[in-house]
Amino acid sequence: MGEPVKIYFICIFNRARSQIAEAFAKKYGGDRVEVSSAGVDGAREIHPKTIEVMKEVGIDISQNKSKTLNMKTFVGSNVIVKLCEEAHERCPIVPFGIQNEQWDIVDPIPQIDSDLDIESFRRARDEIEGLVKELLHRLGIRETV
């Protein structure tokens, strides 16, 4: 087996979408991938609903930490996936030779807490799971599960 494919998932705060993508890529890619995630803005706590909806599918991310974009990881990646338009606009330019993916996933975290809806987190989770599986397939990585 060759070197693992390095995948970097990026969104704004690393509180929901990129955390979900990281977890699914690790689950389905196993040791054939090296996965990280980050936010282009300062790291914040992972949203509790993100943790809750991932537990629903048997993945515990309660010990994960939110991270800010790391340029060493960024330029050392084989694939960079931006999970929202905001990340696409504010992310550094992806260097030549690195696969650049753009997924426009609706942010499940509402602007106003009173609008909080667990279903928006589930929709984002399910959409991201499908996209991660598709990405791994295109990269020639079979699911480990």
The amino acid at residue 82 is K
Read off φ and ψ for residue 17, nearest 5 degrees: -55, -50
| Strands in 12-90 per DSSP E | 33-39, 79-82
Read off φ and ψ for residue 109, nearest 5 degrees: -85, 115
Which residues carry out catalysis? 11, 84, 91
